A and B are shown apart, each in its own frame.
Chain A
């Protein structure tokens, strides 16, 4: 929503400006099309957009601060819960995602430079790279999320305690998650083919990065599964659904929905059992081994920690923080796609690059947040 802040100068409507200038005397130099009529000059427009963006970032920081507050509060209250639960997060994947986001920040910063210097091709390339990194990030995140879901590591009341035998759901969560990206990728591919057919340079410049980004998502999924280990069985098949499998895919989705609605049931069951049984405190040898995520798990699931009000609360915070962050990534991808269209039209130059700069600021903030999320969630020992 905040993106509107800088749509303003850009989507400036030529005819409207014309109408105004016809209508009455502005009393000073006429406005180029990229300068909104109520601004005096390019710098004022740029400064306004930029200040608006910084203020928006201020609201973003305060928005996240609520979750950081919850984090500090409950970590401070139950440090052992955070240690226990952090072992379930794959720090390798976290580190890779950190690297990917940092790289995307680099390409974004480079894109700003390219827009200032009118390096239009480079600009499209850099924006495409940023978009691709974002897609990889989401791909890896999908693997992390679905892996946890199948282990019953769900937020709060939905948390399924890691009891004796290690809960493991057979529901394939990943495939339904992949449907939308798969459909989008296919559409992008068709769009790319179309742009080749009509031999439109503009459309090729737009479709190329989009297609790459779509493929990057599945690259991220592959990467995630490769590192997460082969222990959970082949949910990657569905990942490569193409247009021909549309029906099949939607069937899968229904299936997943049913399964999803059933999940609270085991949660309740285990809640009941944890009510009655302190006896479920397990010994160090058992529970985590078959679901082992990470070698550092010396953590012992202890019934006092391993329940909805403790571990469940950690995963609530984990999902809220990373989930809201992921929503920001998706939002960022939308605006970057919009920038790619504008960049392909070669609209930017040294006096009008505010949109790239401002989206850049937003994107760096998303990176900024992750820089804190990574050690706070993944690296607790």
Chain B
């Protein structure tokens, strides 16, 4: 873990140092138009049926957009590493949370009773996933 406090002192030498870094206007605009372009792209690609790839595509585009926002608008690229660690660790924990929960859910899918009010089984395979079965 970075020792931010002493770091800041040694880095600047003087306590009242300048620490603001205004972003140039061209960069703000460039990022904005990139984001806008990516939005058009994602709407455009939704017109085509890409099957299971569709979700992958749209998530990749969304992640690029999110990355731009975080890196530039939230100026994380110029920020203290600790802040970056904080935000990325949160993503790791989200992944952990979703990962385990979904890993579990994936396994018991076939045991679900989609119409729980039904009379109990005459013993046997569940009528799970009515929809899949009717296909």
Chain A contacts to B: CB under 8 angstroms: 40-44, 46-47, 50-51, 54-55, 57-58, 61-62, 65, 68-69, 72-73, 76-78, 80, 91, 95, 98-99, 102-103, 105-106, 108-110, 112-113, 116-117, 275, 304-305, 309, 350-351, 353, 360-361, 364-365, 367-368, 371-372, 374-376, 379-381
B46 near A102 with CB under 8 A, answer: no
30 contacting pairs across A/B (C-beta < 8 A): A43-B19, A44-B15, A51-B80, A54-B83, A54-B87, A61-B87, A68-B98, A69-B97, A69-B98, A73-B102, A76-B105, A91-B46, A95-B39, A106-B28, A106-B29, A112-B22, A304-B130, A309-B114, A350-B18, A360-B73, A364-B70, A371-B65, A371-B69, A372-B59, A372-B66, A374-B39, A376-B58, A376-B59, A380-B55, A381-B46
Residues of the B chain whose Cβ atoms lie less than 8 Å from the Cβ of A376: 58-59, 62
Shortest Cβ gap from A44 to chain B (Å): 7
A110 to B16, CA, bound (A): 25
B99-135 interface with A by 8 A CB criterion: 101-102, 105-106, 109, 112, 114, 117, 130-131, 134
B82 located at the interface, meaning its Cβ lies under 8 Å from any Cβ of chain A in the complex = yes
A50 to B20, CA, bound (A): 12
Residues of the A chain whose Cβ atoms lie less than 8 Å from the Cβ of B131: 78, 80, 304-305
A41 near B46 with CB under 8 A, answer: no
How many pairs of A and B residues are in contact by the CB < 8 Å rule?
A: 161
Residues of the B chain whose Cβ atoms lie less than 8 Å from the Cβ of A46: 19
B105 near A372 with CB under 8 A, answer: no
Residues of the B chain whose Cβ atoms lie less than 8 Å from the Cβ of A309: 114
Contact of A98 among B25, B39, B58, B74 (CB under 8 A): B39
Asked, given contacts A43-B19, A73-B102, A364-B69, whether A58 binds B90 with beta carbons under 8 Å apart, the answer is: yes
A61 near B90 with CB under 8 A, answer: yes
A275 to B82, CA, bound (A): 55
B94 near A73 with CB under 8 A, answer: no
Residues of the A chain whose Cβ atoms lie less than 8 Å from the Cβ of B97: 62, 65, 69
Residues of the A chain whose Cβ atoms lie less than 8 Å from the Cβ of B5: 44, 47
B36 located at the interface, meaning its Cβ lies under 8 Å from any Cβ of chain A in the complex = yes
A54 to B97, CA, bound (A): 20
Contact of A77 among B55, B98, B105 (CB under 8 A): B105
Contact of A353 among B20, B48, B70, B86 (CB under 8 A): B20
Shortest Cβ gap from B87 to chain A (Å): 6
A47 near B46 with CB under 8 A, answer: no
A368 to B55, CA, bound (A): 18
A47 near B80 with CB under 8 A, answer: yes
Shortest Cβ gap from B125 to chain A (Å): 18
A44 to B73, CA, bound (A): 22
Residues of the A chain whose Cβ atoms lie less than 8 Å from the Cβ of B82: 51
B16 near A41 with CB under 8 A, answer: yes
A109 near B23 with CB under 8 A, answer: yes
Contact of B20 among A40, A61, A105, A116 (CB under 8 A): A116
Contact of B94 among A62, A109, A112, A361 (CB under 8 A): A62
Contact of A102 among B15, B35, B59 (CB under 8 A): B35
A375 to B117, CA, bound (A): 35
A166 to B48, CA, bound (A): 28
Closest to B43 in A: A95
B15 near A108 with CB under 8 A, answer: no
A372 to B60, CA, bound (A): 10
Residues of the B chain whose Cβ atoms lie less than 8 Å from the Cβ of A61: 87, 90-91, 94
A62 near B39 with CB under 8 A, answer: no
Residues of the A chain whose Cβ atoms lie less than 8 Å from the Cβ of B102: 69, 72-73, 76
Closest to B19 in A: A43
B101 near A73 with CB under 8 A, answer: yes
Asked, given contacts A43-B19, A375-B59, A379-B46, whether A69 binds B101 with beta carbons under 8 Å apart, the answer is: yes
